[in-house]
Amino acid sequence: MIVRPIDGGVEVLAPAKLNLFLEVLSRRPDGYHEIESLMVSVNLHDTLIVREEASEDIILECDDPELPTGGDNLVVKAAERLRAAAGIRRGARMTLKKVIPARAGLGGGSSDASAALVALDRIWDLGTPPDRLDAVAGEVGSDVPFFLHAPSAVCRGRGERVEAVTLGRPFHFVLVAPEVGLSTAEVYHALRPPETPRPIGPVLEALDGEDPAPLGRSLFNRLQPVAEAMRPELARVRDALAGLDPPLDGSLMSGSGSAYFGLCRDLDAAERAADNLKPLGLGWVRVVTCGP
């Protein structure tokens, strides 16, 4: 997450995420699911501009007219939770410029909320300890804590227990976001957790090599078959990625969908894949990168 000072406030670049591995271990008594996931942030960003407001109001403006800007928005929720945790009644005016597609499994809303926590902690001069900020982030949403630890981490629990991992090299992806969106809650509700979960070890081991092919073979998402059963038209995106020539090193749906990504050997291969995919009318196509 990139934080820049601006006149009277801060600007934060809030990145998208990809799930390179996502296993659902069990359903929890609280209605959530116990997961184990390897997540990475990529160079696709929303922009959040935050300035202190003279009143006590929390004001959010957004360039996407379809996005709610009231208490249902995770950015506003993050501001309210941080303010309550700090015991203050200060206001903020926030402007959100959206680039990350919504309802795509790319974590845009969670990343925006994490950006709000970082920005407000700074402009309100709170100095919140990292573990306390993690706790507030977990109260806002399951994926929000990850973005405080990006660019790469293993997330457990319902996603709020985050353990940073190191990427030894950059990885390049072609990303496809279809126009159809999916509800995370509905996808999880339709899932039956496996009797024997898949171990995360192989995908973590594959992060260290120079060759991306082992990582491509280790990509896994327990939610993908469920999402594709709910929206069969998504199979067209899956099949297009699988059928590219030259072939990708691997491909997967991110999170609960509906976006898919393909792992490419290098940046040139990712750009060639994007050029081949764009004429197919599958949706929004972009080349993205994670890592150093």
Q: Are residues 134 and 211 in the same domain?
A: no
Instruction: Supply φ then ψ for residue 7, to 5 degrees.
Output: -60, 115
CATH number at residue 26: 3.30.230.10
Q: Which segments are annotated as binding site? A: 101-111
Confidence of residue 31 (pLDDT cuts 50, 70, 90): confident
Q: Which of 137, 164, 191 is the last residue of a domain?
A: 164
Write b or e for each residue in 10-32: b if 16 or more Cβ atoms lie within 10 A of its Cβ, otherwise e: bbbbbbbbbbbbbbbbeeeeeee
249 is catalytic: no
- What integer pLDDT is reported at residue 291 of this predicted model? 85
Q: Which of 164, 188, 209 is the last residue of a domain?
A: 164
Q: Of residues 46, 112, 121, 143, which has the active-site annotation?
A: 143
Cα–Cα distance for residue pair 72/78, rounded to 1 Å: 10
**Element housing 189 (H / E):** helix 184-190
Going by C-alpha positions, the residue among 105, 96, 82 that lies closest to residue 51 is 96
Cα–Cα distance for residue pair 43/115, rounded to 1 Å: 15
Contact 286, 44 (CB under 8 A): yes
Contact 35, 25 (CB under 8 A): yes
Q: Are residues 222 and 241 in the same domain?
A: yes
Q: Of residues 17, 77, 98, 121, which has the active-site annotation?
A: 17
Q: Are residues 71 and 25 in the same domain?
A: yes
Q: Which segments are annotated as binding site for ATP? A: 101-111
Contact 80, 117 (CB under 8 A): no
Cα–Cα distance for residue pair 265/206, rounded to 1 Å: 14
CATH number at residue 269: 3.30.70.890
The 10s digit of each residue's pLDDT in 237-247 is 999 999 999 99
Cβ neighbourhood burial of 261 (10 Å; 0-12, 13-18, 19+): buried
The 10s digit of each residue's pLDDT in 156-185 is 999 999 999 999 889 999 999 999 999 999
Q: Which of 142, 164, 186 is the last residue of a domain?
A: 164
For the record, the structure tokens of 231 come out as 């929206």
DSSP summary character for residue 234: G
Q: Are residues 107 and 190 in the same domain?
A: no
Q: Are residues 125 and 203 in the same domain?
A: no
Whether residue 58 has pLDDT greater than 90 = yes
278 is catalytic: no
Q: Are residues 195 and 247 in the same domain?
A: yes
The 10s digit of each residue's pLDDT in 136-155 is 999 999 999 999 999 999 99
Strand residues in 142-281 grouped as ranges (E): 152-157, 161-164, 171-177, 220-221, 250-253, 260-264
Provide the domain count of the chain: 2
> Residue 158 is part of which domain span?
2-164
